[in-house]
Structure 1
Amino acid sequence: MNSQKCYALLIEKPKTFEESERYCETIGGTLVSFSSENEFKILKGRHSKKKFWIGLKQVNEDWEWMDTTAIVYSQWKERNVTRDVFKDQKCMFVSGTGDWHRENCEKKLYFLCKFNRMRLT
């Protein structure tokens, strides 16, 4: 896991993708992004069997992390993530099995926020 970040799964009330994004921002974070398989496995292991939004969204034809980091790791389940069958599913969530799936952004799910680690002086 990235030593510069800390994470919290917020399960009090499922929210839409945009509500989740705004909530994370109001508490000083962003929806989670992953930079490696190891980072993903550690976090998924802590939250197994839960579905949650991650900060990956389709913008036009491209997928982007909401924190603007480069997409260097993914766990997409669908083979072709740009098919018309998914045209209304522009947000990404992690399933209980750890696969990433597209979903309509209006669906309410748990979500995982990422925060910069605070330094204590």
Structure 2
Amino acid sequence: MTSPPSSMRTRKSSFWKMYLIKCLMPGLDSMQNQESGSGQKVKMQQKLAGILINQRKRMAVFFYAKAKETWEGALDYCRTHYNDLASLSTKEKMDSALLEITQAETEYVWTGLRHLAGDWLWVTGDDLNYTAWYQNEQPQCPARELHCGALDKQTKLWTHRDCEEKLSFFCQYGVMKQTNL
């Protein structure tokens, strides 16, 4: 038996990937598949702006929430409605978030970056190998109230902020393995 032409396999593969995404995220109103040189991108129109990142067989969907919350409030909101506050743990994720930050109604936007027990970490458990700190300096021993990480709309870099500030935030819908269907 001969295999179908590659264009047919690609269409079927794209269809099943989109079907899988829609099943995992039933709240999405619409999706539009576009191919680019860097991989598959999916644009979603919903009350919250969303982006899908293809990162070597791992995909994460981020949503920019216009609501203003403290860092803990944002964490609770994201964990209730999505999976977590967003982890911008790679350059690709950071670049994608930067495309959305222009919509921010606050100067800073909460991320899942937090200082605990003397270290900065992502609440998702992602490694902190990639960094984008303001002035290229990771705060070593920030004041107690400045233990929460945000993305600065102007500098487009990470900074530490007072966890009680009410800011917009990025949620992460989750990470799922991309399959070759």
Fold shared, TM-score > 0.5 on shorter chain = yes
Q: Structure 2: how far apart are the matches of 1:80 and 1:7?
A: 24
| Unpaired stretches in structure 1, ≥5 consecutive residues | none
Match of 2:78 in 1: 24
TM-score by length of 2: 0.58
Select the residue among 97, 101, 109 that pairs with 2:159. Answer: 101
Select the residue among 99, 111, 114 that pairs with 2:172. Answer: 114
Seen in structure 2, the aligned counterparts of structure 1 residues 74 and 19 have a Cα distance that, compared at 3 Å, is: same
Quote the sequence identity (%).
21
Q: Structure 1: how far apart are the matches of 2:151 and 2:138?
A: 17
Deviation at 1:32, TM superposition (A): 0.4
Select the residue among 97, 122, 126 that pairs with 1:43. Answer: 97
Q: Which runs of 4+ in 1 moved over 4 A?
A: none
Conserved in 1, the CA contact under 8 Å of 2:112 and 2:123?
Answer: yes
Deviation at 1:41, TM superposition (A): 1.1
Does residue 55 of structure 1 match 2:55? no
Deviation at 1:80, TM superposition (A): 5.0
Q: Structure 2: how far apart are the matches of 1:72 and 1:115?
A: 22
Letter in 1 for 2:139: V
Does residue 64 of structure 1 match 2:124? no
> SS of 2:170's equivalent?
strand
Q: Structure 2: how far apart are the matches of 1:77 and 1:49?
A: 20
| Unpaired stretches in structure 2, ≥5 consecutive residues | 1-52
Deviation at 1:117, TM superposition (A): 6.1
TM-score by length of 1: 0.85
Q: Structure 2: how far apart are the matches of 1:72 and 1:107?
A: 27
Deviation at 1:28, TM superposition (A): 2.9
Seen in structure 2, the aligned counterparts of structure 1 residues 35 and 80 have a Cα distance that, compared at 3 Å, is: closer
Out of 19-28 and 45-54, give the one that drifted further.
45-54
Larger radius of gyration: 2
Seen in structure 2, the aligned counterparts of structure 1 residues 24 and 80 have a Cα distance that, compared at 3 Å, is: closer
Does residue 75 of structure 1 match 2:132? yes
Q: How many residues align?
A: 117
CA-based RMSD: 2.1
